[in-house]
Structure 1
Amino acid sequence: MADFAAVVLAGGRASRLGGVDKVMLPVGGRTLLDRTLAALSGADPVVVVGPRRPAAAGVRWTVEDPAGGGPLAAVDAGLRCLDADEGVVAILAADHPHLTRETVARLRDALRTDPEAGGAVLAEPGGRPQWLLGVWRVRPLRDAMPSEVRNRPVRALFEALDPVRVDATTAEVSDVDTPDDLDRAQAADS
């Protein structure tokens, strides 16, 4: 049994990319979703919140109800698929092409070193937290989840858990929201 679970947010409209299925875009010969799943090697279970797509075996799929409710609704839907109230869950957006197993391991290690923290979150250079790049203690996360999650910001939920901030490299927090972002990610990976 793994010592952590994972929830991957793989929905969204990708309006700045013309509405394409963003997480299925290739970077370095693998889709953004596959790259994220590779960074979560060892997690069990892995829940992907978004439309079902070709992906690694053993992934659980769910969508927020109703679909399109935003990241907090997606986090809530993913948590509902976890069996245990205890333990740690990595919560990652699937549009960060340069996350690695080492990134997730650093987050998990940071959380282990601070038993009072509700989570550990990557912070971009300059200190701004990337709320959808973190690991969290399941029970406090569930306890802090508001009853209304649709179209509400995730920041308030995660900020209330007083997470450890883990310095990220610029590459780790880079995401793909625009065609230029995709071009940069592909160039960095070639």
Structure 2
Amino acid sequence: METYAAVVLAGGAARRMGGVDKPALPVGGQPMRDRVLAAVADATSRVVVGAADAVPMGVRVVREDPPGGGPVAAAAAGLALLDSDTSLVALLAADLPLLTRAAIGDLLKHLDQQTPDTESAGGGPAPAPPARGDLAPARGDLAPARGHLAPARDDLGGGERQPDGACFVDGDGRRQSLCGVWRVAALRAALNRLTVERGGSLSGAPVRALLAGLVVREVRWSGEGPPPWFDCDTDEDVRRAEEWAR
């Protein structure tokens, strides 16, 4: 399994919670942001994008341009701090207090797995398709999973194309795009494309526009414990996460 970096997006306005510093809210006695960082403790580099007064040692902090410019602008700021040879990145919201290292490992495993119709590196038959994955072109944050693994076609050459990223989908098949791992080259190309399309500014750009055209492997969580993609948008969500974390 390849090494990876992690970019944690912590710059949201939390309007549904009165504008509080949501990533700093405790769940299980620890800020949600720190719980996310703990889930990627083995990453080669960890970056928090947003205001953060105190972070674990070795974590870099940067602000998106402009501050409050949204998750795509934040992703661009985080990726800009990664070493040029970084090939994989976990792109994560800071309000995922139930995220675990096992869940990140599951995503990395699915991203690394070949499509059914491609050959393995040794020239033999492709491995069996993953039980919970699904390859599909990005269709936006609320795109449903199709429940199977289909080979992705390269639009330019007509050949097989490996996934650009892998993210969880919830029980209703909705993509949790900010609970995923991605190929850095694909994200940087998408950021460049979107910057041109939007006249030079990524402020306010939706995540679905960033991922448009990327091939995404959709992963359903069937491990032990609560869903790692559970995000906290309301006070009730925080209370629910607190109950799960006990």
Task: Give the shorter-chain TM-score range.
Answer: over 0.9
> Could you say which residue in structure 2 is the equivalent of 1:32?
32
> Could you say which residue in structure 1 is the equivalent of 2:170?
124
Structure 1: segments with no counterpart, 5+ residues = none
- TM-score of the superposition, structure 2-length normalised? 0.73
> Could you say which residue in structure 1 is the equivalent of 2:180?
134
Tell me which structure has the larger Cα radius of gyration: 2
Query: What is the one-letter code of the residue matched to 1:39?
Result: A
Query: What is the one-letter code of the residue matched to 1:123?
Result: V
- Please list every run of at least 4 consecutive aligned residues from structure 1 whose deviation after the TM superposition is greater than 2 angstroms: 168-171
Instruction: Give 1:173 deviation, angstroms.
Output: 2.1
How many residues are treated as equivalent by the alignment? 189
Structure 2: segments with no counterpart, 5+ residues = 115-160, 196-200
> Could you say which residue in structure 2 is the equivalent of 1:183?
239
State how far apart, in whole Å, the 1-side matches of 2:64 and 2:85 are: 20
Would the aligned equivalents of 1:85 and 1:138 in 2 still touch at CA under 8 Å? no
State how far apart, in whole Å, the 2-side matches of 1:106 and 1:51 are: 29
State how far apart, in whole Å, the 1-side matches of 2:59 and 2:37 are: 9
* Pairwise CA RMSD: 1.5
Instruction: Give 1:85 deviation, angstroms.
Output: 5.0
State how far apart, in whole Å, the 2-side matches of 1:160 and 1:131 are: 14
- TM-score of the superposition, structure 1-length normalised? 0.94
> Could you say which residue in structure 1 is the equivalent of 2:71?
71
Would the aligned equivalents of 1:5 and 1:89 in 2 still touch at CA under 8 Å? yes
1:166-185 Cα distance to aligned partner (Å, 9 max, x none): 10366222211111111111
Would the aligned equivalents of 2:4 and 2:86 in 1 still touch at CA under 8 Å? no
Percent of aligned pairs with the same amino acid? 46
